Amino acid sequence: MQSSRFLEHNTGNHVENAGRLDAIFRRLAELEGWTRLDPRPASREEIALVHDPQVTEKLEQITAEGGGWADGDTCVSPASLEVARLAVGGGLKLLDEVCANPGNQGFALLRPPGHHATPTQSMGFCLYSNIAIAARYARETLGLKRVFVLDWDVHHGNGTQDSLISTDIPFVSFHQWPLYPGSGWYDERGQGNLYNLPLPAGCGDGEYLFALHRLVRPLLENHDPELILVSAGYDAHASDPLGSMGISSKGFGQMASLLAEWCPGAHRVGFLEGGYHPQALAQAVESTLLAWRRPEPVECPRPEKVQDGFLRRMVQAQEHWGV
C-alpha cells in the first residue's frame, strides 16, 4: 500500500519528513511482484478501536489553527489529520486484501508513523497507532484469533504496548535501551502478552538474528499466528542518525526471511515506522520486500559472535519471558 498522499503530511525539515517516503517510492518504482493499493480514510469507529476521542479533538484543534505541534517532537501540518486517517484506513484496507487469500502478504508504506501514539496522546512523530488499530481490527472485524505483533524499530513501541496491554495479543519489541521514550524494560509484561527486549547500543545483524532465533522463534511456535504484523522501523540501521545500532540492509532482509521461513502459512504485513537515513531506509525496505517474496534460510549466529553485554540482556529476557 502506497500513496503520494502520505507526502502531504508536511513536516518541513523535521527528521521525519516526506523525503523518507519519497526515497522509498523511487527505489521501489521498478519492483515487481507486488500490487499497489491506494489508501482509504479510517472511520471514527475504527480509530476508536484504540484511541480516546481527545486524541482526534486535539488534532482537529491544531489543524483548525493552521498547524502546530501535538507534543515537542510531533509536527502537525494542515493536511496531517486527513493523512493520518488515510494511514490508519490504508493499513486496514491492506489487511482486508492480504487476509482475503492464503499466502498473501503486504507492506504499508505510510506516514505519519504510529508506534509511539498511545490511546490518549499523539507523540514521538506519531499521530495514531496504525499497527495497534490494525491488530484490533484483525481480531474484531476480520475475526482472526491468532494475531502477533513484532516491533524491530530502534525505539520502544510504547504506544502499541499501551494499546495492547489489556489484550492477549502478543507484542514483542526489540529496542535500544536507554533511548526515547524510556519504557520497554523486561518487567513490563501486561497480561503476560508483552515481550520487551531492551538492547545495548551497538547491536547488529548477529545480535538481532540471534535474538530472533532464541527468543522469537519459540514464541511463534507457541502462538502459531495466522497474521504477523511488523512495526518495521529502520532506525536500527548502521547508517541511521537517530539510532546507535548496526543492522545492515541485508540484515533486515534476513530478519524478514526468518519470519517467512518459520511461519509460512501466516499472513505478514509490515507497517513503516522510523528510519531516518533516506537511502539506507529505501534499501532496507526493498531488502524486506524481496525477502518476503523469496525468503532464504538464515542460521542462528554462534554465541561467541555476539557482544557479551547483549548476551546478558538475552539471559534476563529469557527469565522474564519464560522461553
Residue 165 CB, nearest approach to Zn ion (Å): 20
Would you say 175 and 199 are in contact if contact means Cβ atoms under 8 Å apart? yes
Residue 263 or 272: the one with the smaller Cβ distance to Zn ion is 272
Query: What residue number has its CB nearest to Zn ion?
Result: 274
Is the CB of residue 236 less than 8 Å from the CB of residue 204? no
CB of 20 to Zn ion, least distance (A): 12
Between 155 and 237, whose beta carbon lies closer to Zn ion? 155
Q: To the nearest whole angstrom, how small is the minimum distance from the Cβ of residue 235 to Zn ion?
A: 4
Q: Among residues 113 and 225, whose Cβ is nearest to Zn ion?
A: 113
> Catalytic positions, please?
116
Smallest gap from residue 305 Cβ to Zn ion (A): 26
The nearest distance, CB 145 to Zn ion, in angstroms, is: 30
- Which CB atom, from 73 or from 188, has the smaller least distance to Zn ion? 73
Return residues touching Zn ion (CB under 5 A): 153, 155, 233, 235, 274
Three-state SS string over the chain comes to: CCCHHHHHCCCCCCCCCHHHHHHHHHHHCCCCCCCCCCCCCCCHHHHCCCCCHHHHHHHHHHHHCCCEEEECCEEECCCHHHHHHHHHHHHHHHHHHHHCCCCCEEEECCCCCCCCCCCCCCECCECCCHHHHHHHHHHHCCCCCCEEEEECCCCCCHHHHHHHCCCCCCEEEEEECCCCCCCCCCCCCCCCCEEEEEECCCCEHHHHHHHHHHHHHHHHHHHCCCEEEEEECCCCECCCCCCCCEECHHHHHHHHHHHHHHCCCCEEEEEECCCCCHHHHHHHHHHHHHHHHCCCCCCCCCHHHCCHHHHHHHHHHHHHHCC
Residue 233 or 295 having the CB closest to Zn ion = 233
